[in-house]
Structure 1
Amino acid sequence: MSEPESVPDRPEEIGGYRIDRVLGRGGMSVVYLGWHPTFGQWAALKVLPQALAGNPAVRARFEQEGETTARLAHPNVVAIYARGETQDGQLWIAMQYVEGTTAEAAVQDGAMTPARALGVISEVAEVLDYAHRCGVVHQDVKPSNILLGERSDGRERIVLADFGAAVILSTTAEREPGGALVASFAYTAPEVITGETAIDGRADVYSLACTFFRLVTGSVPFPGHSTAAAMANAHVEQAAPPISELAPWAPAALDEVVSKALAKRPEDRYATAGEFAAAATRALSPSPRPSPTPPTLPPRVSVTPAPFSSPVRRVSRRSMIVAGAAVAVLLAAVLVWLTVSGSDDDVVAAGPAPTTRTSAPPPRKIVLPNGYLPGVCTPGEPTDPGTEVIMSCGPNQDPGGPISGTYSLARDASALQATLARVIATATTVVCPGNMQSPGPWRRLADPATPKGTLFCGIAADGRPLIAWTFDPDRFLAVVESVPTPDGAALNNLYAWWASHS
C-alpha cells in the first residue's frame, strides 16, 4: 500500500479505536493507525471503503481475509484483534500494528541485500508451509505484502500480511474456470491464472520464487509488460530469464534453484516453500575449498598500466565520494614483471635437446591500482583451479586506501562469478556508500549504459570493511579491506578510494 495524498473522509473513530493517521491505501481498502484507550493498544485498522461496501463479492473477500488470518496462529502472521462493521456498513479489521517497512520498499530504497533476501524468504517460507498444513493457500505472495519490523532482541521481524486472496484447499478443486482473479499478476502462478488445475501450496512456491527474484535483482521475472493480459501470458507461456542475467554475481546453482521454483507445472517445482528456501540458501553458501592442485609453473605475468574511469554512482547525503561524478579518473598502475619460471639450466634432459621449442602462451596481465610501493605486492600460488593468477598486496598509500588487497584473474567467466559468490557468502552484506546496490553492477562514466562488472560492499568476519569488484572483460577480481575507525567512516573512505581507482 502507498500513502495517499489525502483522505478527506477519514473517520474520527472505528470500533473504539481513535484514528491517528492513514498508514496506506490500496485498491480495495484503507488502512488507518488507531489507538484504543481502553485496551491501551495501537492497531492497524483495515477498512472497506464506503464505495465498495455494497459489493457482495468484495465484502465476501474482505470477511474471508479476517477469518483466514484469525485461524493462523503463527508469530509471522499479523495478529487479528477484532472485526466488525460500522453503522454505515463499512467492514473493518483491527490488526497488530507492525512498525517498519515492507520488502518492496526496502528494494526501492536499495536496502535489500542477498543475505537479507534469504532471511526474508526463509521466514516467509516457514509461514507458508504452516498455512498449507492448515489448508490455506495465500495466493498473493509479493514483496509489498511482506512487512519488515523489529523484534525485541533487535533482529528483523518478518510478517506475511494480506490473506484477502487466500483460498481454502478443500474448495480449490471446485473453483469455477474464469472466476475472479485477485492475486497480483507479476507474482502469480500459471495455474492460478488459467484455472485449469486445482490450486495447492505449490502456487505459493511459485509466487515466493517471483518475490525472491524481485528482492535479489530489483526486477520481476517478466518485466516490460504494460497490461495484465500480457503479464499473465508471460507467466503461462514464457520462461523466466536466469537470475544471473540481472545479478551477475549469482552462481549457476542459484539459477537452477529459481528455475525449478518457477516451473510452469506445479509437479516440477519444489514440493514446499521450505524446500525452495533451503535450496536457495545452499546455492549461496560458500562451497568447500578444493584441494590444491600439484604445483605447476605459472605463465609469465606482467602488470601494465591501463586507464580506468570512475564508475557511475547515485548521489546521496551519505556519500563520501570525492570529486565530481562527471570527471573520469585515469588510473596509473604499477609496471611489474613477475618472472616465476626457472632458467634452462634447471631442466634435466634425458636425450638430446630438441631442435624446436613450443611457444609459451601469451602472458596474462593484471592491473593494480595506483598507490602501491615497489615490493608491497607479491604473486601467489592459486589454490583454486578456477584462478589463473593471484597477487597479494599490503597497504596502499593513497588516501583511503586499503590495508590489504587480493587481485586475481579467473580462467573463465563462470569461475570469476563463483569466486565472487564465495566472497559475498563469507561477509556481511551492506549497502555501498552513495546508496549503491550491493552486490550490483558498476559502470564507467564514458559508457554508462554498459555494466563493466559487479560491486560488493561488506563487513568481513573480523569486522574489517570490505569492497570487492570484478572487471568482467578481463575476468579480474579484486578484494580489498580497510581498518575500522571509531567514527565509522572507514567504508566511506575505502569506497571513495575505489571510486577513483576502479
Structure 2
Amino acid sequence: MMSRMTAPSHAGRYRIEQLIGVGGFASVHLAHDDELRSPVAVKILADNWARKSDVRERFLQEARLLRRADSHLLVQVFDIGELDDGRPYFVMTYADRGTLADRLASRPLPVEEAIGVMRDICQSVAVLHSIGVVHRDLKPSNVLFCSRPGGGERVMVADLGIARSTDHLSGLTLPAGSPGYQAPEQLYFDGAPDARADVHGLGALAYHMLTGKVPAKPEHRVPPSALNPEVSEVVDVAVMRALDPDREARWPDAAAFGAALRSSTVPEPTPPPAPRDDDGPPEEEPRHDGTSHEGPRRPGRRTAIVVGTGVVVVAAATVTAVALTASPPVDPPPEPGTTAGSPVASSTGDATGGYLRADSDIPDEYRELIVQAGTYCELPGLSPALIAAMLKAESGYDPDLSDKANDEYGIARWTPEVLWHWQPGGLQRPKPSPPFSPELSIVSIGRFMCRLGPQVGKVPGDPALKLAALYRSGVAPLKQAKGVPAKWHDYTTKVARYMRDYQSN
C-alpha cells in the first residue's frame, strides 16, 4: 500500500509540495509551476492501478472531459503527462479554499449562502450537460472553492472519474454514485443515468447545505423547511422535486433546477411527465438495431463495455446515447405452455397448439420457446404468432446465422452488447458471446418487448406491427413517425403475412 501512495518530487516541470487528497484510484498533490509561478493540483493514478488498461483509460478520460468542457465553473486541466515509473498524471486548478464537505462538517450553511452556492453548482453542472456529459457522483467533496484574483471566490465542480459522455452512454451500465446522493436508478444494473440523475445529486447537495443532513430515504424524507424553518416554500418545492424518486417528475437538467431556485414563484411540485416524442438520446431506450436520431445504423456498430475494479469504462463505437427507465425488471416469463399461471388450452395435445398453427413451417423445437417469449407479459400486440413471424423475417429460423459485418448472430439477429442487456438477468449474468442459442435469443425478445412496448402504446397503428418495428428501430423513431417508420414498412408487411400463416385457428 505504501508504494501506491508514493509521491514523486516532480511531475514533469511541476514541483510536488504536499499530498492534499487520496481516493480509491488516485492521489491529488499540491504542486508549483515554477515557470508560471503559480500553484496547481496534480492528480496521479495510483501505481497499483496504472497497469490496468481500463482504469488507466478511465483516468485519462476524466482529463479529456474536463479539457473539453474548459470552463472556469469546473476544475480545468492544463497539462497531462506520465511519470518516470509509467503512472499518468494531469495538472489542474488548485482549489485553495477547500471543499464543500469541509464547510458542511460542522453546520448547515445559512440559507442565502446555500442558495448562492447551489446556483453556482447548477451552472457548473449545466456546462457538463450542455456538452453531453453526466457527472454521476455529485457530493460535497466534489465541490471545490478557489480564490478569485480580485477578491471573493468561485465554485468549481471536480472529479469526473465516473462521469459519462452521452456519446459513450449506454443502457448497459453498473451502479455508481455515493449513498445519499445517487439517484434511485443508479442502483440498478439496467439503470443508465442521464442528466436527471445529476439533478437528484444536486437536490441532495441543496438539502444537505440547507439542513445539515443528507436526505433520508424517500419514505422517511421531510421537506428542508421541516428541519430549517428559514427555507422558503419556493426552495422547498424545487428541492423536493429534484429529489423525486421518479426521474420523470424531476427537473429535466441542472439549468432547470438552477432556474427554479432563482424563481420567486412556487413551481409545480409534481408535474406530469413531459411527452418524449422529440427527446434527445439520453431519454431513449436501447434500440435493437443501434439507430441514432441522425439516421439508421445497423446494430453491429455498438458500444463496448469493459468492467473492472469497480470502474465502468465505455468505449463507444457509435454516437447513440441511450438510457433506461428506473422501472424494475419485468416479471419472469411464465413456464412454457402457460400464460398468467393458467394452462394453455390445446386440442392437439401439443402445449403450443392453442397459440400456433400445427401445420405451419415453425420448427417444432422452437415452438415452446416462441410461446414463452410471446406470453412473457400481457401487452397489446404481443403474441407467439408475432414472435414466430419476426424470427421468420429475421433469419428464416436459422440458429447459426452469423452476419459478422453487422455483428448480428443467431435466430433473432442479436448483437452481443444488446443481448447482454436484454437477456434474462441482464448485466448480472455474463456477457453472451456468439454463437447464441435459440433458448437465449428467443426468450430475450419477450423481455425486450415487455420493457419497451408500453412506451409506444399510444402511437397510432396495429399493436403487433408497432412491436415488430420497435425491435428494428427503437422507441423514438416510432413516436416521431407517429407509426411504423417508412424504413420498416417492407419488414412489417412481411411480418404481417407470416403472422396470418402462424395464428392458430
TM-score, length of structure 2 as denominator length: 0.49
Please state which structure has a larger fraction of its residues in helix. 2
Larger Rg: 1
Please state which structure has a larger fraction of its residues in strand. 1
